[in-house]
Structures are given as structure tokens and as C-alpha cells.
Chains A and B, each alone.
Chain A
Amino acid sequence: MAVKKLIGTIEYKDNLAGNVWLVRIKFDEDLYFSAGQYVSVKVSEEGERRSYSIASLPSVVNGDKRDYIDIVVDITPMGVGSKFFLNTKVNEKVEVMGFLGKFTVDEISLEETDTLLFVANGTGIVPLKPMIENLLEVKSFKGKVILVWGMRKEEDLYWTEEIERLTRDFDNFSFEMVLSIPDDDWPGNRGHVGDVIKDLNIKWQKVRAYLCGAPEMVEEMEGLLVAKGVDNNNIVHEKFG
């Protein structure tokens, strides 16, 4: 689908956790894009735009028509994008440029891959979630799919129930949540994503990895994965600050 300007309507805004909001934008047409892509939203009259990964799945061929996108807005920085989405009300119009980015699952590579490893920190989970859902629920990918997601505190978490449901529905999917500042009673992984990844027992030569999050994390994980034996060409990343 060629990049074009779309006018959408804010359908709802939902507070996922803390400063993180999910915003659903509805359009007058079904949307065709690739899971993992993002949109650029016009957030000021001066033409300033901010980029947001799409958290929802695109329209698919089996009749499941979708005319909306979900985006996730972290208002912590309180920049022009944060203020725009805080001030924009349900039913108001927004101008969206879509669909952008190459951070998507390359279908040809799937044939040569045993394991898809998805690694995120913070809101880096946003493009990874639909990529994983698309692989498991739409593409019926049978190889191993592993998600490692790092966050700071338990109160920051969202979507964990939905992701846990995937682990129940798909035997080939596993999920590791890691907290860097957990409460004493946190039963899960503690530390950083690298602490979990280094202990994974997988055939590293057959891994294709998708990394999304802070540049420091992405660079560190690239180094770790290459040291483990992952081919550099099989490491795909999206960095954002």
C-alpha cells in the first residue's frame, strides 16, 4: 500500500498503565499494512508530526476487515505529541500519514528460521505484539517464537494477560517478562532482557531476532546475539529514544 494521508477519528483513549495510553483511530476504509509498521501523526498546525508504532493487526484476507489502528502514546516526555493526544477528544479528527517503516517479519526468512526471538524494552513492545499475533494467529507459523520484554516496575505493565493467553493457545510461543526494579514479591525474572537471553537454550545459528526499544538496549543485544552465534543478517532492529 502506497504511503498516503488518511483522516481518521479518535474512537477511544484507554489508559493502559501509568503514563501510557492506547488510542484507537478509525478510518473510512479498510487498512492494509504490515504488522510492525508505524504511522506519522500530525500533532500541530505547524506541521509537526510524531511517529507511533501500530499496536493492532491490519486487515487480513480471511474477511476480517479492520478500519482502525491502535497506537500507544507514552505521555511521560510531555512533548508536542503527548500534549496533542491529551488534548484531542474522542470523535475529533486526526491526520495520519501511513504506512511507514520496514520493521516487519520477512516471510522468506521464515523458511530458514527455527526460532524467532522478539526482544523489547518499554514501549518497544508495541510493534512486536502485532508481529507475534500475526505470525501465530494469521500465518500459523510453527517454529518457536520467544518474546522477552523488559520493563522497570510491575505497575508499568500492560497487555500481560493478552500475551499470557498466547502462551496458552500456542505451544510454540513462550514469554519472558523481566523487571529491572521489581517489588520483593515479584515472582518473575529480575534484571534486564540480556539476563534472560543469555540463558536461553536454543539453536542460536537458526535464530532470527527482532529488537525494539532504547538504542542502548538494541546495541547491547546485537552484541550479545552475535556472540551467541546469531548471523548479523538475522538481527533486525528498530531503535528509538
Chain B
Amino acid sequence: MSKLLIKIDANKCIGCGSCESVAESIFRVNAKGKAEVWGEGDDEQAILAAQVCPTSAIEIKNSETGEIIWPKSKQQKGGDNDEK
């Protein structure tokens, strides 16, 4: 069982489906057009999905230690959106 705790900020999610494309067994875009966690899968894929999220809407923690795995620092979470 995965040790990851995945949290999605629905206010930030734009429903682009990138997380779903990277880790379809873990993420899906629901009928409201927002990403949600619906299953389990490879931890590395989950982290990659969080990394590719264009709005940094996904936070991943180690459920045992509470350590934030992604984003690495608060600075990385939004703030300097120089993309798209």
C-alpha cells in the first residue's frame, strides 16, 4: 500500500487532465471537471503527475512522516507561473 497522501486543491485545478494522462490508475477528472484521486498506483507516477500539474494543484505527503514530498518548497507552489 502506498505511503503517499495526495491532496488536490480544487480551486487551483483547471481540469486539464495532465495528472490523469500521467497516472491514470490514481487520478481522474470528475464530472465537475476537477481532478480527484480514485485509485492507487506507482508512487513515482503519482509524484510525476504532481510535477506536471500546470497549476501546482497537487500536494503529496508521506503519510507516515508527514514530510511534504511535492512541492519541494513553498516557493515552488505557484507564484511564478511563467508558463503556457
Classify the interface of chain A: helix, strand, loop or mixed: mixed
Residue-wise interface mask of B (19-59) relative to A, using a CB-CB cutoff of 8 A (1 in contact, 0 not) = 00110000000000000000000000000100110110000
Say whether B82 faces chain A, with CB atoms less than 8 Å apart: yes
Do residues A102 and B82 form an inter-chain contact, with CB atoms below 8 A? no
- In the complex, what residues of A have CB within 8 A of residue B48's CB? 97
Given A51-B54, A97-B52, the answer on whether A73 and B82 have CB atoms closer than 8 Å is: yes
Residue-wise interface mask of A (123-151) relative to B, using a CB-CB cutoff of 8 A (1 in contact, 0 not) = 10011000000000000000000000000
Interface members, chain B 62-82 (any A CB < 8 Å): 70, 72, 76, 79-82
- In the complex, what residues of A have CB within 8 A of residue B70's CB? 47
Do residues A3 and B83 form an inter-chain contact, with CB atoms below 8 A? no
Do residues B51 and A50 form an inter-chain contact, with CB atoms below 8 A? no
- In the complex, what residues of B have CB within 8 A of residue A50's CB? 82-83
| Total chain B interface residues with beta-carbon distance under 8 A | 20
- In the complex, what residues of A have CB within 8 A of residue B81's CB? 77, 79, 240-241
By beta carbon, the residue of chain B nearest A127 is B84
Per a CB cutoff under 8 Å, which of A46, A75, A82 touches B72?
A46
Do residues A52 and B84 form an inter-chain contact, with CB atoms below 8 A? yes
Do residues B17 and A101 form an inter-chain contact, with CB atoms below 8 A? yes
Do residues A102 and B17 form an inter-chain contact, with CB atoms below 8 A? yes
Per a CB cutoff under 8 Å, which of A51, A52, A77, A102 touches B80?
A77
Beyond A50-B83, A240-B83, 9 additional contacts (C-beta under 8 Å) are A47-B51, A48-B51, A51-B83, A52-B83, A80-B76, A80-B82, A100-B52, A102-B16, A240-B81
A-B contact pairs, 24 of them (CB 8 A): A3-B21, A40-B51, A46-B72, A51-B84, A52-B84, A75-B82, A77-B81, A78-B80, A79-B82, A80-B80, A82-B80, A100-B16, A100-B21, A100-B22, A101-B16, A102-B16, A102-B17, A238-B84, A239-B14, A240-B14, A240-B81, A240-B83, A240-B84, A241-B81
